[in-house]
Structure 1
Amino acid sequence: TDAVLEQLLYPKLHNRSNRRMPDYDYIRKELLRNGVSKKLLWTEYIEDCRANGDEPLMYSQFCYHIQQDEQKHRATMHIKRKPAEQIEVDWAGDPAMIIDPDTGEIIKAHIFVGVMTYSQYTYVEAFLDMKQRSWIKAHIHMYEYFGGVAKILVPDNCKTAVIHNGKRKDQQINQTYQELAEYYGTAIIPARVRSPKDKPNAEGTVGNISTWITAALRNEQFFSLAELNRAIRKKLLTFNQKLFQKKEGSRLELFLENEKPLLSPLPATRFELSDWKTATVQFNYHISVDKMLYSVPYEYIKKKVDVKITDNTVEIFYNHNRIASHRRLKGRPGQYSTVTAHMPEDHQKYLEWNG
């Protein structure tokens, strides 16, 4: 073989390969530290070789071998996606613009993007902010647009999805976001911090959305969010129907054929966004929520309770057990919603007295 011929014909050249090679694992770790350079590590490597009687590599060869080792660690893997398995969600970097019809002020509209990872079928909607309410609404509308729910949801590490407690590993899903996931029967697996390859479809589609939707609407003027979203919906339909460059069909065709039949069905009713508050039960066995009063069993007087408030209901919990539920009152402040069973026995008897 060539290797044997080289050893026979050029023994001196062959012996050069006996030079001591760098410790690649050690070098990789050290280069991550502040102020450590390849030149410094090479100097330390030469001193170590001389102390042990080994022949060192020259600086250019030292750098070459380190570069070859680095390339091995940059290997990427193509992960085959399964239909209806996961959706990647994110906010697009470039906002759209709305003009206030009264003041002429230009307002930024933030673009939410949701992508089915298998077909790359996309949902896009504009919101005036990136707060919790907008984030949850975007997911509800996205599931209705897709007509079903995927098994996994992959969001970015934004505050509306993940609560950061200072430590990278010590992160938990936002409570309202977790409720949404449980309601729709999906699992939330956030992408790692600064790891865009954890959600490559969303990252790639964000760039396409910026070109084919946001930039395509740059010369049009919009005076309301509804008007902007109608224009986005038209562009979105065209975007999903565009043929792929490197494979057959379009996002829409691939979604309808392979993914939509496998999606979990939507619940009978929409998820209701809830707010959580803490309240103390008063001596009249009621709590106050937004200037309205709701009863709880009188045994809980002066106890602190958790209150879950949606647009239509008020639910009251003590130690994670629901103790009362009311239809939410609307209109003039100071109204009472009282359940007779919550009252002490003598109070109930008083109600039975007639004139």
Structure 2
Amino acid sequence: HRTFFSLAELNSAIADLLPALNQRPFQGRSESRQSLFEALDRPALRPLPATPYVYAEWRKARPGIDYHIEIDKRLYSVPHALVGVKLDVRVTDTSVEVMHKGQRVALHSRHGKGRFVTLTEHMPKSHQAHQNWSPGRFLNWATDIGPATLDVVQRQLKDRPHPEHGYRACLGLLNLSRRYSRDRLEQACARALSINSASYQSITSILKQGLDQLPLPLTEEEPELTDLPVHTNVRGPRYYH
């Protein structure tokens, strides 16, 4: 008799006895477990997979207008033509694989920095053209024009669902500076900020109507005129607010 002090010791002893057990003929027969395995099972065996099995979770996703799907609070791009289409997504610990009608349309690594994971080939042509720009480049350009333009550009780049959406507005402002002049753009941005409407459309409207060439309304911080004649019909600007 043998005494075992752990399950590992017991299993090791059993493993030593298995070869003899498998080669022992069955009662009343000439075959053994080993001989039947060699004759029946081994010929049917297939090679093991070249790579280990990877656990994956399947999900459904529908890309938004920015051609990204959200997986665990990160956004992954798909071809922009699939915006609004329901897609199958295979998620593993290391990758995000996007399928459409059984065909893979996107593959991303789950590792990396940033909330957005975007492939250039997934972008519309108009977005691909923006790749030579960056937030820093837009901010430097706006700084050269003036503080009001810088303020507007900062607002355009802030809190966008995807940076390219802000780039489009900033490129529009750049075109306005070429069309109307840098000085007029700065004045238009100042007027847009004064009415709390610093959108590209608002600034374009101000320039088209020539409102940038009119003096800005007085602010609370600006002093009232003091050289007006004293008369009951003469009132300061506060009277009209």
> Which structure has more helix as a fraction of its residues?
2
Q: TM-score, normalised by structure 2?
A: 0.43
Q: TM-score, normalised by structure 1?
A: 0.31
> Which structure has more strand as a fraction of its residues?
1
